[in-house]
Amino acid sequence: MLENFIDFLSNGENLLFIIFSMLVIVGAVFLINLQRVVHMVIALATTFISLAGLYVMLDAEFLAFVQVLIYAGAMTILMIFGIMMTKHEKQNEEPKRALHNVLLLVGSIGFFIILYLAIQDAVFPIQEFTSNEENTKMIGIELFTWHVIPFELVSVLLTVAFIGAIIVAKREED
């Protein structure tokens, strides 16, 4: 058991994986537990940027840097909204209920056991994967040939949502 762990951790790539996945999980947990909006946004940013780290480890650089590009901007916007539209002071915590906590504990232990057993029994089919140097180009070609209709539909949908948001905001202004 312990030897397995040492074997696993002596590989530099695995170590990086552990660090990044820990950061992803820690960021997500903090996001739920923190009290102030700006702190939550920072926790969320940790999660998203560490996810980009995981993508880099999977040889998906394009996806990783697009992830950072999109979410770094999104985080900033979210933070601005958080600052402008929420109260500046810390919110009072709700009184804790004992029964609630016990149920939570039982639920999470149960969930852990189910997941643990499922993962233990699962068989992961291993495929030979060759990383492609030109994966950015490949994504582009796939996106604009085979998937072009869904791609264009999504962009139309986003444009509609965008214009709709502007119209709603304008109407409130008048």
| Shortest Å distance, C-beta 79 to other proteins | 6
Residue 13 found at the interface with other proteins (CB under 8 A): no
Q: Considering only residues 46-75, where is the footprint of other proteins by CB under 8 A?
A: 49, 61-62, 65-66, 68-69, 72-73, 75
The tokens for 145 are 């040939």
Quickly tell me which residue has 């915590």 as its tokens.
Answer: 93
| Binding residues for other proteins restricted to 26-45, rule: CB under 8 A | 36, 38-39, 42, 45
Q: Which of residues 80-119 bind other proteins (CB under 8 A)?
A: 80, 83
Measured distance CA(56)–CA(62) in Å, rounded: 8
CA distances from 120 to 3, 39, 106 (A): 18, 36, 21
Please report the sign of the dihedral spanned by the C-alpha atoms of residue 43, residue 55, residue 15, residue 5: positive
Chain positions contacting other proteins, by CB under 8 A: 36, 38-39, 42, 45, 49, 61-62, 65-66, 68-69, 72-73, 75-77, 79-80, 83, 133-134, 136
